Structure 1
């Protein structure tokens, strides 16, 4: 495993690009997943998407404290309810803002073995999935912030 550099929204336009589907799960994809996990933990994040380490592939990792989830080609297939809470992002350092997200989501994707899995998530886990999957489509949380509720934590 190796640490990867986190891309920054001010300097890396890769964060605004749409990621490509993974067609074949090869060693380099498995290595990417492991590197993303190590990088996420080092940076004290709860999720990380491949564009955040400079790779335009549809790959995410999430851990809200209940164990690591690695997903390849994730997609939200169902969503219900609404929640509003603060979000931040490793690629948008120093900024926090309130974002509306679904309260419950069903996410479909592939695990490391190439098996299709479905995960039902609520609360923080649902929020984390939505946030990371947005990254795969070039969307940042600051695009969805309720404008009156954004603040800079670097002050």
Structure 2
């Protein structure tokens, strides 16, 4: 189900709690909401639809990836960029890594570690920040 986008900064600045198999309905809603906002959005965290769980959904060249409890364990090649967010107005400067290594649980609930680069890495970093209550 497509959900309304949360815009309350006080809610968005709260750290999300770990997610598990019982949170799959939230993950599906998150994915539906991301797909519905495809024209202006390439990633979302569950708190953006009003649920404080550590779940993110991203579009990697229109291949959708769900991550439960993502954790960036390494980052390489720091750079400065500007980002926008559906939950916030305008763009803001932020620092990101060109390459990241992420540990997460898949939508099949298998623990995995994977390396991402470029724009996909940037998207993941933005959404993990959301999980940690960090707004750009």
TM-score normalized by the length of structure 1: 0.81
- Local SS of the residue matching 2:75: strand
Residue 80 of structure 1 corresponds to 76
Q: Identify the match of residue 94 of structure 2 among 96, 99, 117.
A: 99
Is the 1:62–1:68 Cα contact (8 Å) retained in structure 2?
yes
Cα distance between partner residues in 1 of 2:68 and 2:100:
17
- Counterparts of 1:12 and 1:86, CA distance in 2: 19
Q: Is 1:34 aligned to 2:28, yes or no?
A: yes
| Structure in which a larger fraction of residues adopt strand | 2
Aligned pair partner of 1:90 in 83, 86, 90: 86
**Stretches of 4+ moved more than 3 A in 1?**
none
Quote how far apart the aligned CAs of 1:12 are.
4.7
Q: Distance in 2 between matches of 1:138 and 1:97?
A: 16
Runs of 5+ in structure 1 lacking a partner? Answer: 142-155
Whose Rg is larger? 1
Which of 21, 26, 50 is residue 46 of structure 2 equivalent to?
50
How many corresponding residue pairs?
134
Match of 1:151 in 2: none
Q: CA deviation at 1:109?
A: 0.5
CA RMSD of aligned residues (A): 1.3
- Correspondence 1:20 to 2:17: yes
Is the 1:83–1:123 contact (alpha carbons within 8 Å) kept by the matching residues of 2?
Answer: no
Structure 1 residue 37, shift from structure 2 partner:
1.2
Aligned equivalents of 1:96 and 1:72: distance in 2? 27
